C-alpha cells in the first residue's frame, strides 16, 4: 500500500454509475414481472353479502370477484394430479432410454469415425450427416409412419429367407417410434460430442500408453476415455437437459408424456395456460435437479486437470459469506 509519510493513503474505489443505472432498470423490470405473477384480475362476477351497519340496518355490500391472473389455484390443483405424474414418469423414461441409446450409439459412431478404415469412418460420417441434417420432428413422424412402407419386418439371412417376422404396426407403437427417432437423432449429436472429447486428448497420452504395451482397446478404456470425459460430460449434461424437453415432441405421436397429459386435461377443461404452467413447473424442477447433478459429475471428472478441485456450492456460499463479512469488518477499520 502506498503511504504518505506515516499515514496510509485512503483508497477510493471506482464508481460504476452506468452499472447502477442498469441495476435500477433491471430492478424495475423484475418488480413488474413479480407483480404480474401475483396479480389478480376481475372475473366479471360480483360477490355480495348482507351486513348490519351502525344504524342497525341490513345493507347489501358488493365487490367484484378476483382471480389470479395465472390461475395459481388451478395450477396447484393439477400439479400433483395422477395423470400429470404418470405423464412425468413417461417423460423421464423417454429421456433416460433415449439418452442411453444416444450415448451408446454416439460412442460407437465416434469410434468408427476415428477409425483409419474408410469403410468404418465413411458410414459413421453419413449417419451423423443424415440424422443431424434433418429435423428431429420430421424423423419422429417418419418412424411413427414407417409401417406404411414396411408393413412387415423380417429377421433372417440378409437378402435370403426370413426366419422370423413381425408386423411393423405392432412394433412401432407411438412409444417405440419416439424412442427410435429421438435415440437415433441423439446418437448423431452425441457422436460429435464424444469425438470432440477423444480428439482433445493429447496424442502423447496414447503414445505413452502404447509404449507400455497397452492394447488399442485398453488405451481407449484406461487412458483416452477417462480424460475425454472431462470434455464430454458438460455438453452431455446439456444434451440430457435438452432431451428432457425435446421428449415433449413425442406428444405429437400420441405418447402420453407430461405435456400430452396436460393437453388431455385442458382439452376437456379449457384451462390451457394453467396446465401449460403445470407442465413447465415439472420441467423446471427436473432440469434444476439435473443441473445440480451435472455440477458434481463435472467436478469428479476434473480430477487431475485442475490443481484444486472446485468448491461445492455450499463451500462457495460459506466462502462468500465469510468474504462479505470480512469486507464489512475491514471497512469499519478492524484488521482481519
Cβ of residue 322: shortest distance to another protein, in angstroms?
26
**Other CB atoms within 10 A of residue 95 CB:** 22
For another protein, which is the closer residue by CB, 220 or 278? 220
Are 172 and 147 in contact, with CB atoms under 8 Å apart? yes
Cβ of residue 102: shortest distance to another protein, in angstroms?
24
Most distant CA atoms of the chain, gap in Å: 104
Tell me which residues in 168-227 interact with another protein (CB under 8 A): 202, 204-205, 207-216, 218, 222-223, 226-227
Are 239 and 190 in contact, with CB atoms under 8 Å apart? yes
Cβ of residue 122: shortest distance to another protein, in angstroms?
22
For another protein, which is the closer residue by CB, 61 or 216? 216
For another protein, which is the closer residue by CB, 210 or 238? 210
Are 214 and 222 in contact, with CB atoms under 8 Å apart? yes
Measured CA to CA, the distance from residue 151 to residue 147 in angstroms comes to 5
9: Cβ–Cβ under 8 A, 6 or more apart, which residues?
Answer: 1, 2, 3
298 part of the interface to another protein, by CB under 8 A: no
**How deeply is 211 buried, as exposed, middle or buried, from its count of CB atoms within 10 A (0-12, 13-18, 19+)?**
exposed
Measured CA to CA, the distance from residue 171 to residue 174 in angstroms comes to 9
Tell me which residues in 107-126 interact with another protein (CB under 8 A): none
Cβ of residue 313: shortest distance to another protein, in angstroms?
24
For another protein, which is the closer residue by CB, 201 or 243? 201
Q: In the set 40, 77, 165, 303, which binds another protein (CB under 8 A)? A: 303
Count interface residues toward another protein (CB under 8 A). 24
Cβ of residue 114: shortest distance to another protein, in angstroms?
16
Q: Which residues bind another protein (CB under 8 A)?
A: 202, 204-205, 207-216, 218, 222-223, 226-227, 230, 303-307
Amino acid at each position: 500500500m502506498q503511504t504518505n509519510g506515516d499515514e496510509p493513503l485512503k483508497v477510493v474505489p471506482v464508481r460504476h454509475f452506468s452499472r447502477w443505472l442498469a441495476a435500477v432498470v433491471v430492478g424495475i423490470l423484475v418488480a413488474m414481472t413479480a407483480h404480474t405473477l401475483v396479480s389478480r384480475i376481475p372475473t366479471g362476477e360480483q360477490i355480495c353479502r348482507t351486513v348490519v351497519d351502525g344504524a342497525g340496518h341490513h345493507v347489501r355490500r358488493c365487490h367484484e370477484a378476483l382471480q389470479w391472473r395465472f390461475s395459481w389455484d388451478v395450477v396447484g390443483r393439477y400439479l400433483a394430479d395422477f395423470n400429470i405424474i404418470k405423464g412425468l414418469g413417461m417423460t423421464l423414461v423417454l429421456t433416460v432410454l433415449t439418452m442411453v441409446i444416444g450415448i451408446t450409439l454416439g460412442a460407437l459412431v465416434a469410434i468408427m469415425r476415428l477409425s483409419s478404415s474408410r469403410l468404418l469412418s465413411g458410414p459413421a460420417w453419413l449417419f451423423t450427416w443424415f440424422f443431424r441434417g434433418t429435423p428431429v420432428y420430421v424423423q419422429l413422424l417418419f418412424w411413427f409412419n414407417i409401417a406404411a412402407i414396411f408393413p412387415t419386418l423380417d429377421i433372417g439371412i440378409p437378402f435370403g429367407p426370413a426366419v422370423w417376422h413381425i408386423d411393423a404396426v405392432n412394433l412401432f407403437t407411438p412409444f417405440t417410434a419416439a424412442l427410435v427417432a429421438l435415440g437415433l437423432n441423439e446418437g448423431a449429436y452425441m457422436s460429435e460430442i464424444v469425438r470432440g472429447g477423444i480428439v482433445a486428448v493429447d496424442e502423447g497420452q496414447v503414445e505413452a500408453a502404447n509404449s507400455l504395451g497397452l492394447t488399442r482397446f485398453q488405451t481407449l478404456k484406461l487412458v483416452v476415455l477417462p480424460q475425454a470425459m472431462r470434455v464430454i460430460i458438460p455438453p452431455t449434461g446439456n444434451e440430457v437437459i435438452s432431451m428432457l424437453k425435446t421428449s415433449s415432441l413425442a406428444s405429437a405421436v400420441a405418447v402420453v408424456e407430461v405435456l400430452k397429459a396436460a393437453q388431455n386435461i385442458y382439452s376437456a377443461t379449457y384451462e390451457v395456460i394453467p396446465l401449460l404452467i403445470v407442465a413447465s413447473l415439472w420441467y423446471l424442477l427436473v432440469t434444476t435437479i439435473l443441473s445440480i447433478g451435472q455440477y458434481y459429475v463435472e467436478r469428479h471428472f476434473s480430477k487431475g486437470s485442475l490443481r484444486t478441485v472446485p468448491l461445492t456450492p455450499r463451500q462457495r456460499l460459506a466462502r462468500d459469506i465469510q468474504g462479505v463479512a470480512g469486507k464489512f469488518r475491514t471497512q469499519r477499520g478492524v484488521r482481519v
